[in-house]
Amino acid sequence: MSSKPEGVEQRSLVRLVECRAADDGKVTVSGYAAVFGETADIGGYFREALARGAFTNTLRTADVRAYFDHDPGRILGRSSAGTLRLQEDDKGLRVEIDLPDTSDGRDVRTLIERGDITGMSFGFSVLRQEWDETVDPPMRTILEVDLREVSIVSEPAYEGTSIALRSLEAARKDRRQTNFNAAATRRRLKADLDLRVRSKA
């Protein structure tokens, strides 16, 4: 598997992947690469869920590619070519790929028909998120992503835990800084009030 770009995370979904053949010989696979609102445990470090609308903006502009096992050398489709179609619906990110007549395309078809492949995945960078640290482990809600790719995967897994944990630490640092600033403001206000009271005495 090729290494993914810095800052890109991957999440997989084990769900039914369907395969259908048209009269003209075109073979299309379909399924969901992501679903909204479902909470996933990410290695015990934190929990995570995708908010509805997380893909809305990226689908307007992104030229997304479909790979086999996240490998850019094993391309299956591309949105700008019309061979990959992505739709955000009430359930999540729906994917349709017109498989190419290549060794990878034929292999993917056979593996899906045999039931050996049951997962899709997507590679993304987070643009907006929220962290809730009032629960243990912390809860991450992904509000908006930059979608990089979708994949048919032979071994569904997640990657990018370290990236998300750095994001959590940054959120904690921002929160500490905000709390520090708020405390400093309260001290200044109290000192100013004390000074005014003393000046009137």
Would residue 115 count as lying in a domain?
A: yes
Provide the number of structural domains found in the chain: 1
| 173 part of a folded domain | no
Average pLDDT rounded to a whole number, residues 33-49: 87
Q: Indicate whether 103 belongs to any domain.
A: yes
In a domain, 4, yes or no: no
**Would residue 62 count as lying in a domain?**
yes
Percent of the chain past pLDDT 70, that is, above it, reads 76
Domain presence at residue 72? yes
Structural domain harbouring 74: 9-159
pLDDT digit string, tens, across residues 23-37: 777 899 999 999 998
Highest mean pLDDT, choosing among 19-28, 101-110, 149-158: 101-110
Average pLDDT, the chain: 83
For residues 66 and 163, the model is more confident at 66
What distance in Å separates the CA atoms of residue 187 and residue 192, rounded to the nearest whole number? 9
Q: Predicted confidence band at 3 (pLDDT cuts at 50, 70, 90)?
A: very low
Give domain status of residue 133, yes or no. yes
Tokens for 121, please give them: 């995945």
Element (H, E) at 179: helix 161-200
Is there a domain that residue 36 lies in?
Answer: yes
Mean pLDDT of 85-99: 95
